[in-house]
Amino acid sequence: MLAANGLWAQNVQAVPMHAPLQNVAQLSASGSVEAQQDLLSITMNTTRDGTDAAAVQNQLKLALDAALAEAKKTAQPGLMDVRTGNFSLYPRHGKDGKINGWQGSTELVLEGRDFPRITAAAGKIQTLTLGNVGFALSREQRTKVEAEAQAIAIERFKAKATEISKSFGFGSYTLREVSINANDQGYTPRPRMMAMQAKAEMGDSSIPVEAGKSTVLVNVSGSVQMR
């Protein structure tokens, strides 16, 4: 029993004791850059309904095929990419709970950096109507702007760390840990209903669009060891 207790005491003494942190400051800083949205996304859609599911599905397919054929005439990677969106078919029920018909919808998305090309293509599509118009930053633009905002945030973090260290009577600091997070907020000036009305009034003419701006915000937070 004594030997066991002695062994236990030796093991306890072998465990290293961590000293509490001293002279550590937690801080954060942010940087933001505003940029013009350079990516346009237009969603075209249509709905069909009828008593026969196969017939409704075929009508949707014909409408989508025609729209795809028209859009692909001017599609070009990066400038205007074309892809299909949601394609759904579901039963319609009567008051008695029984199926009395079928409804379906399909979507086509035009997206890219060439606004005139995209709006002209959307205006020529006759089998689908305008569903939504959205703007964003392209991957290249966002990467560029995020790097600028990050550089601002880091410089502000370093300046704040230096100021705090001096305020507490220390001559310098070393970085202990840091985390960087980025996000952006955008504003789209033309809402959905306005875009739909423009499409209805202009027929196969180009759809008027106007991009807004996005603000990319980068937050830098962490701790420093004041020395």
Residues 128 and 165 in one domain: no
Task: Give the C-alpha separation, 125 to 219, whole Å.
Answer: 43
Residues 159 and 49 in one domain: no
- Number of structural domains found in the chain: 2
* DSSP of 100-135: EEEEEEEEEEEEES-HHHHHHHHHH--SSEEEEEEE
Residues 80 and 121 in one domain: yes
Which residue's structure tokens are 């599609």?
Answer: 75
Task: Give the C-alpha separation, 209 to 132, whole Å.
Answer: 11
- Name the domain boundary from 136, 166, 196: 136
Between 194 and 48, the higher pLDDT residue:
48
Residues 118 and 100 in one domain: yes
Q: Give the model confidence (pLDDT) of 88-133 as tens digits.
A: 999 999 899 899 999 999 999 999 999 999 999 999 999 999 999 9
Task: Give the C-alpha separation, 3 to 79, whole Å.
Answer: 80
Domain assignment of residue 97, given as a range: 39-136
Residues 112 and 183 in one domain: no
Band of pLDDT at residue 193, cut at 50, 70 and 90: very low
Q: Give the model confidence (pLDDT) of 4-58 as tens digits.
A: 444 444 454 554 556 677 899 999 999 999 999 999 999 999 999 999 999 999 9
Residues 141 and 34 in one domain: yes
Task: Give the C-alpha separation, 100 to 111, whole Å.
Answer: 37
Residues 221 and 159 in one domain: yes
- Residue 204 has φ and ψ, to the nearest 5°, of -95, 20
Residues 126 and 49 in one domain: yes
Domain containing 178 — which CATH number? 3.30.110.170
Those residues with Cβ within 8 angstroms of residue 188's Cβ, 6 or more apart along the chain or in another chain: 37, 133, 134, 135, 211, 212
117 in the Ramachandran plot: left (φ > 0), alpha (ψ -120 to 50) or beta? alpha
Which pTM does this prediction carry? Answer: 0.74
Q: What is the pLDDT of residue 209?
A: 83
- Name the domain boundary from 97, 117, 136: 136
Residues 43 and 131 in one domain: yes
